[in-house]
Each structure stands twice: as C-alpha cells, then as structure tokens.
Amino acid sequence: MTNATISSRKNESIARGVGMTTQIYADRAENSEIWDVEGRRYIDFSSGIAVVNTGHRHPKVIEAVKAQLDRFTHTCHQVVPYESYVRLAERLNGMLPGAFEKKTIFVTTGAEAVENAVKIARHATGRQAIIAFSGGFHGRTFMGMALTGKVVPYKVGFGAMPGDVFHAPFPVALHGVSVADSLAALDRLFKADVDPARVAAIIIEPVQGEGGFYEAPREFVSALRKICDQHGILLIADEVQTGFARTGKMFAMEHHDVAPDITTMAKSLAGGFPLSAVTGRAEIMDAPGPGGLGGTYGGSPIGVAAANAVLDVIEEEGLCDRANALGARLKQRLESLRDDVQEIVDIRGPGFMNAVEFNHAKKGVPSAEFANAVRLNALDKGLILLTCGVYSNVIRFLSPITIQDNVMTEALDILESAIRDARAG
C-alpha cells in the first residue's frame, strides 16, 4: 500500500471540497511523530490543527478511553446521564476566567459550540445581531461561515449567509489597522448599520487561528469589554484553537484580565476525540429552556473521559509552562534567521501558538509563494507545517506541547533548512 495508490482512490471516492494539506496517509502516531503507510516518519507541527496539545495517544488519555469503553460508549446524556459529564462541567466552570457562577454544555465540534453560543446569546438578550471580525474563523456551518471573516475558501459558492451578522476590522498593526481604527469602525457600524441595542453578542478569537495567529491587543479586548457592558452586549470568546495551554495559559483570555460572558472550546479539549463545550455565566446559560440545547452525540462519554484525562495531564505535566518554554525556543531560532532571510516580516504568538509571516523581499507584499515553499521543503524533509492568514503567507506552528526536547531540536533544524532553501530558490 502506498500514499499514491490511496490518493488515487481518494480522488475517486471523496468530494474535492475536503481539502488536504498533504498526501501523507497516516498509519500510526505517537506523541509528536507520525508514520505514514509507507513507513516514513514525520514530525507533526500541526497536531491535527491544534487538537493534540497533549500529543498523539497520550498514555493517560488512552487509558481513560479504554476504561470508558469497558463501561459504556453511548446513552445520550439527555436520556440517561452520567457523572463524568457533570464532573467535566464542574472543572471547566472553575477554570474559565470570571468571578461569577458558570454553567456548561457539551456538544461535538467547534462549529457546533459557536452555533450554540449564538443561540444562547440571542435567547438570553432577546436580540438578534452578532458582530465578528475580519480574518476570524468560526466554522463551516452556515452561522459559522457567516461569522467567519474570510470568503475564500469558506464562503465562496455557498449562497446567502444568515442575516444580522456584521464584521469589523481586526486590529493588525502589521497590515495598517490599529486598535483605534478597529474601534472607530465599530462606532461607525453602530451609527450606520446596526443599533447597538439590537446586538446580542460580539465574538472574537483572542488569537486568530486561520486568520494568521494575530493576537488581539490587550487594550482592544479591554475596550470591547467596556463597549459590551455599555450596551448590554455579550462578549463571546472563541477559544476553540487557543484553549488548553496552547498560549501558555489554560485559556488565552487569561492574558487580558478580561472575562468573557460565554466561551467556546473544542479541538484539544479531548486530546483527539470529538468533544466541544460552551461555558458561560450561569444566568445566561440557563436562558434557553429544557430541550433547547443539546444533541444526540453531545458530550459523548468517550470524549468526556478523554477530556477529564487531558485536564489532568495539563496540570500534572505543567504544560502551560512547557508551552512558554517551547515557544521561546522556536521564536529565538526564527529571530536568528532575520538578517539572512529578508522575507521574514514578523514572528509572533503567545506561548506555543506561534507564527512567522513572509513578504516578498523586494516588493514588500505578502508572499504566499514563499510560505508555501517553506511548507513543501519542510514536508520533504519530514516536518509537517501548516499555512494560514488572509494572504496565505503565514506559517503557523502547532506542535504537541508534549514534544520531546530532542525531537524539537530536530524540527527546528529542519525548519531553518526549509526556510533557507526557500530563500535560495
């Protein structure tokens, strides 16, 4: 069996809308490494897009899942509930920022968490409008697409989006948008397009994921909190990609000393098993009546068991501190290349949620071509990287936080070589 033969079968059987970054077909994985069906080893700097912060097949997570498999796999929590769901909710309620009572629901995907956050916000406020930001990504369902601030490939060809969704520019100084610009745009939005008294919520990623790993400035997040409080608007933090130690804290909003009213979580919550969550102020979460929230697979006992183990691992192995140390190593190596690689225009990101952005060395414009050349060079050398950004000129780094020190060193050597090779042309 080869990657090429499976790829040929894939082309005949799977819709082309399911895009694939590589044509590597996985056979097995362990911590930060993947082996394909041909036996070749790769270092994984994608983590399934920030899903396995605790590494592929962490022994404690696998042990918890196996134990749950021996008890039961599905009852539907809305029919026959289970204590582990309650325990995980209690733990998240206690972890999320905000000195107020919280409640939680579990669903299955990040997009589903965002959909439910919007439902809850609308029900709790009696309002309809939602404000999101350019470059943001919130899922591929229709409300998720509407909230997402990028047309290609997420919205193109899918027709009309749900109404009462508005966008403001996300502050990215590198691209000429200051905090003052963004706040002024919000003010214009309230004057020209939507009465703030009709806005149910503002949703923001504390660090944009697909949009380019741009971190929301502290003063911007603080200003949003004040605007929300002034107008009775709820603040939703989309922590689907930023949560669970990735940014050096359990949740990225902890960097801002601002408590959102509602938080959405998914990806690394359950270490590779499908599970997502919505946590918020108790009175807001209780707004919908019984039956208004939920889903047949929501809060799968397998995912819940994995998530409880993931939280244990993060605490026991000190993964927040580990993320900060790894991110510092990565950024230091990238900084050492600046003098030789004029294409590097920015190196950024909190904790181990890092990115490097490339421009054309002579033209000074975003260079998707250079970023893709780095990605392909690295892949050829055995390192899996992902690009992102509105201009597709950003390499983002999402290695498991549990990556072994020697493997991290190997990965950094490959990365440097891939960047230098791209520069050499």
Tell me which of 102, 150, 249, 267 is the catalytic residue. Answer: 267
Strand-pairing partners, residue 383, are 43
Question: Which residues touch 390 (CB under 8 Å, ≥6 apart)?
Answer: 134, 135, 150, 211, 212
Catalytic annotation present for 331: no
Identify whether the C-beta of residue 285 lies closer than 8 Å to the C-beta of residue 61: no
Q: Read out DSSP for 384-409?
A: E-EEESTTS-EEEE---TT--HHHHH
Handedness of CA 74, 75, 81, 83 (dihedral sign): negative
Identify whether the C-beta of residue 399 lies closer than 8 Å to the C-beta of residue 47: yes
SS3 312: helix
Pairing of strands 199-204, 234-238: parallel
Catalytic annotation present for 100: no
Strand-pairing partners, residue 103, are 280
Tell me which of 106, 133, 137, 358 is the catalytic residue. Answer: 137
Tell me which of 44, 238, 261, 346 is the catalytic residue. Answer: 238
Identify whether the C-beta of residue 273 lies closer than 8 Å to the C-beta of residue 65: yes
Identify whether the C-beta of residue 299 lies closer than 8 Å to the C-beta of residue 224: no
Identify whether the C-beta of residue 243 lies closer than 8 Å to the C-beta of residue 250: yes
Cα-based distances in Å from 184 to 126, 191, 342: 26, 11, 33
Beta strands in 121-213 (DSSP E): 129-133, 165-168, 199-204
Identify whether the C-beta of residue 279 lies closer than 8 Å to the C-beta of residue 263: yes
Catalytic annotation present for 191: no
Pairing of strands 165-168, 234-238: unpaired
Strand-pairing partners, residue 172, are 177
The residue written with tokens 């733990």 in the block is 91
Would you name the residues annotated as active-site residues? 137, 238, 267
